Amino acid sequence: MADSRYPKRKNPPVAKKAVKKFKAKQHKVIRRRKKKKNLIVRFFKWLMRGVWAIVWRVSLMMMITVSLFVGYFWSTLPTASVLLDGRGRGSVTLKDREGETFAWRGNQFGGIITSETVSPALKNAVVATEDRRFFWHFGVSPRGIA
């Protein structure tokens, strides 16, 4: 049934003769001779390449080393609240042999004031004196810089 859908060809298709392709002419490649630069210029160029090769590798190693040190110390730091001492600079803490505090001597103040313990009116007053458009720009005020 599928064979009857398409009529059979009377003559099979004839293969065409291959077209003869001609090779492109080979042109002689003309190479220019490099002009030799001055010996002093070549020496300084070689020297600067060597210096650059050393400098960028040493700089890369130093950046990696500094990054590792910063990452290590950043990961081992305690939180900021543990590091802060809210008392005045002249105070002395007296501790017993177990490390427990039993007395303080010198100026003593109420402690560190955080933004959570301050009234919103005081926060807004400080912000208003520094930058009145603080809440409406993206963090850096182009008008304030200009």
- At 54-92, the pLDDT tens digits run 999 999 999 999 999 999 999 999 988 777 766 556 678
pLDDT for res 94? 87
DSSP state for residue 72 in the 8-state scheme: H
Q: What is the pLDDT of residue 128?
A: 81
From CA 137, how far away is CA 111, in angstroms rounded?
33
Q: Which residues contact 94 (CB under 8 A, 6 or more apart)?
A: 101, 102, 103, 104, 105
> CA angle 105-106-108, nearest 5°?
100
CB 51 within 8 A of CB 59: no
pLDDT at 20: 66
For the chain, 146 residues long, the average pLDDT of each consecutive 10-residue run is 64 66 70 78 94 97 98 92 67 86 76 82 85 79 76
